[in-house]
Structure 1
């Protein structure tokens, strides 16, 4: 009798979970922009959970490459990644040479990520060519950060061996290394403003170096997922004029294995609460509903397509 009662109670307790769909979003390190972005998306999705029966959770991960690989393996439902990394995975080129991720689909392009070369002022680095014989952090191995820096180097005929020191520190370690004079500068592909760069510019006299000129123009022509942009003046201490650079988009991606309903719900949650969503992080200041469709480098998931069409954006 006890067993029957226990089984009945367990069954009753389980009823609310019946039919619920749980989705996870892979992001990046907790000091970056991906993690709070995943949190912002989940917050909007979970506001609708009674109606949709979809519950969303966020995970801190190693970033773009990690997220795409775990989506491919079915360990994550969604992930945030740089549009250049998404393009390479969808096409089976670059770091995904011969390893095309055919299941990879775009959900939306969230905000621009711009490459910043943050340097100590006393290092006298005024252009990309000045990094030669300097101690420069390129990013942790396999990161989109490192890949973009190396692409820029290749466009300018610079090799890793031209550096006095090529660093592989994680993002959270870079501001301290700059302050402690262990490196002369570091590359960071991120949404702006960002706490990491704010920390660096508040700790030591810095210069954010313009990344511009014919080599960058040629780079953008060769790789259409890149676009010219500016890091606006006043975002960081010492940045008194706009800084020319280039960047990609932070794209929310998923897999064909994820249900149309789940993807539709995510897009709907963001678009129907768009003004509130934009207030959740300064990197979203200039995004529009239309810009969510710019810079997609993998085909749109059918669930996303359905909502964008209903909203009159496709």
Structure 2
């Protein structure tokens, strides 16, 4: 047998997906999609690091080869709001983008020093805060949550745009920050890598359901729990917090070859979904294979939506218990039925 005959077939398409930092959850989700979904569909999917959701939206729109992106719901909505308010750039960026499906809720970590006098999220007003890099979903989430809770913008003089690692260093080493905000689905590598001694330096603020600031934040965000089991080396107790939804996003492609590749990706996403939940990042276990109704301005990518809905329907039919044959209501038999021996009660 010749070498050419033994070689594996080349992928039919080479695409890219933008995720987030190497210590976050998005990049692990991207790797799962690359190996467990794209590869079986004949697509070589390159997983790219980024600063996060806001950058991902722009790269999804303009960077050659980027066909998929992971984006937070509040970031997507912020672009839509800007477009509705008349921002032409925002409209040019967001209007051609389409959703593939919702994924999972990402937890928001509000981190302070272990000796900080504050213990609850609503106590961060007027503190010096590290909000994530410019262009990141974390930065937008930080600003949006602060605005919702306190009815005023996060003060510029109290805001620093830093990577997670840089912000934690400034929090714990030179103590020039009071709070660090990080958005990452648990378990996140950044926190999993921390040793038991971490509890001597940092703690996570709790969501106080009784605080009026919490009620205001919940207009956009949702309550969640950071589980001690996710970070068992250093986190002693579960911590209530806020969450934001993550989405898988693409563009409204019309080129036949691209449509064909992405519909194959959709078929593979559905057929490989059980494997994603069994072998992928633990967050896949929270994903439901469904396409819920969307808010105004949000749209699914029609070719992939059609294939996903058809596959979801097939999976539902296969998993449904067999229906019992309909039993006619009991009635008295006629004399003729008795004579013929076909009486059924």
TM-score (ref. length: structure 1): 0.80
Corresponding residue for residue 67 of structure 1: 56
Please state if 1:177 is matched with 2:170: yes
1:132–1:162 contact (8 Å) kept in structure 2: no
List structure 1 segments (4+ residues) > 6 angstroms apart after TM superposition.
294-297
Give the Å deviation of 1:129.
4.0
1:233–1:240 contact (8 Å) kept in structure 2: yes
Q: Which moved more, 1:275-284 or 1:192-201?
A: 192-201
Output the CA distance in 2 between the equivalents of 1:243 and 1:94.
Answer: 37
- 1:126 equivalent among 105, 109, 119: 119
1:117–1:208 contact (8 Å) kept in structure 2: yes
Corresponding residue for residue 144 of structure 2: 151
1:260–1:302 contact (8 Å) kept in structure 2: no
Structure showing greater Rg: 2
Corresponding residue for residue 266 of structure 2: 267
Partner SS for 1:193:
coil
Corresponding residue for residue 225 of structure 2: 230
Partner SS for 2:218:
helix
Give the Å deviation of 1:305.
0.9
- 1:219 equivalent among 217, 220, 237: 217
Output the CA distance in 1 between the equivalents of 2:181 and 2:84.
Answer: 20
Give the Å deviation of 1:141.
1.9
Task: Describe the shift of the 1:302–1:276 C-alpha distance in structure 2 as closer, same or farther (beyond 3 A).
Answer: same
Partner SS for 1:304:
helix
Task: Describe the shift of the 1:263–1:142 C-alpha distance in structure 2 as closer, same or farther (beyond 3 A).
Answer: same
Task: Describe the shift of the 1:132–1:74 C-alpha distance in structure 2 as closer, same or farther (beyond 3 A).
Answer: closer
1:88–1:95 contact (8 Å) kept in structure 2: no
Please state if 1:80 is matched with 2:70: yes
Output the CA distance in 1 between the equivalents of 2:271 and 2:83.
Answer: 36
The alignment yields a C-alpha RMSD, in angstroms, of 3.0
1:64–1:144 contact (8 Å) kept in structure 2: yes
Give the Å deviation of 1:87.
2.1
Partner SS for 2:217:
helix
- 1:136 equivalent among 105, 108, 129: 129
Output the CA distance in 1 between the equivalents of 2:262 and 2:165.
Answer: 31
- Cα deviations across residues 225-266 of structure 1 (Å, max 9, x unaligned)? x32222223323554443222222221101012633233222
Output the CA distance in 2 between the equivalents of 1:159 and 1:251.
Answer: 26
Give the Å deviation of 1:207.
1.9
TM-score (ref. length: structure 2): 0.73
Task: Describe the shift of the 1:133–1:300 C-alpha distance in structure 2 as closer, same or farther (beyond 3 A).
Answer: closer
Corresponding residue for residue 241 of structure 2: 245
- Cα deviations across residues 44-71 of structure 1 (Å, max 9, x unaligned)? 234324xxx4332221122211221122
Aligned residue runs from structure 1 range 1-314, under 5 A: 20-49=12-41, 53-75=42-64, 76-93=66-83, 97-98=87-88, 99-100=90-91, 101-132=94-125, 134-157=127-150, 159-161=153-155, 165-182=158-175, 183-199=177-193, 202=196, 203-205=198-200, 206-212=202-208, 213-221=211-219, 223=220, 226-236=221-231, 237-257=233-253, 259-278=258-277, 279-290=279-290, 293=292, 298-312=298-312
1:192–1:283 contact (8 Å) kept in structure 2: yes
